């Protein structure tokens, strides 16, 4: 698990928390297509054949909201850079009417979501919550012991 993975996990948790607090279940409809990571050549060929395309955004809300056709996030760490494919996808989605963003923290995601979904959560509440999470996150730093803890836990399923 890398820092962008940890950022995405925290974003997903905060979207679920906001859904619980506001009663807005649309926040649970953000979707992630697992097209990143290391794959064998065979597995990569199968995924390409199934329609997986490089650069597709990390999180996407595929329905009209707040005057947009949908919402797309390409999450990046403080030093992360967009690939050409990611730039292309975001530009294409914006041309389709999506609100596309490249947030580098949980706080940046929450600001966009609050605005686009019209949640009415105060900036102070979101700011305080995001500050606590982002300060501890490896996407703002080089290393996080929480990543090691998460990857060492065994599933009970």
Tell whether 157 is covered by a domain: no
Residue ranges making up the domain that contains 67? 3-152
Query: Could you give the strand order of the β-sheet that contains 98-101, starting from the edge strand earlier in sequence?
Result: 59-61, 70-73, 98-101
What CATH number is given to the structural domain containing 40? Answer: 3.40.1350.10
Q: Which tokens sit at 132?
A: 């606590």
Beta bridge partners of 31: 60
Which of 3-7, 33-37, 70-74, 144-148 has the least mean pLDDT? Answer: 144-148
Number of structural domains in the chain: 1
Q: What is the mean pLDDT of residues 36-60?
A: 83
Q: Which tokens sit at 139?
A: 């996407």
Would you list the DSSP string of 35-83?
--S---HHHHHHHHHHT--TT--SEEE-S-BTTBSEEEE----TT----
Q: What is the mean pLDDT of residues 3-12?
A: 90
Q: pLDDT digits over 131-141, tens only? A: 878 777 776 66
Q: pLDDT digits over 61-116, tens only? A: 999 999 999 999 999 988 899 999 999 999 999 999 999 999 999 999 999 999 99
Burial class (CB in 10 A: 0-12, 13-18, 19+), 45: exposed
């Amino acid at each position: 698990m890398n820092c962008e993975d940890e950022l995405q996990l925290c974003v997903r948790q905060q979207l679920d928390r906001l859904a619980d607090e506001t009663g807005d279940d649309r926040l649970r409809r953000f979707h992630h297509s697992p097209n990143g990571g290391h794959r064998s050549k065979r597995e990569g060929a199968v995924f390409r054949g199934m329609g997986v395309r490089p650069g597709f955004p990390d999180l996407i809300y595929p329905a009209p909201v707040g005057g947009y056709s949908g919402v797309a996030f390409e999450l990046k760490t403080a030093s992360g850079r967009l690939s050409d494919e990611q730039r292309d996808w975001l530009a294409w989605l914006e041309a389709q009417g999506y609100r596309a963003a490249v947030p580098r923290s949980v706080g940046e995601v929450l600001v966009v979501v609050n605005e686009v979904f019209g949640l009415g959560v105060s900036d102070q509440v979101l700011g305080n919550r995001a500050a606590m999470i982002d300060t501890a996150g490896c996407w703002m730093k080089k290393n996080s012991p929480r990543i090691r803890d998460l990857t060492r836990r065994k599933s009970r399923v």
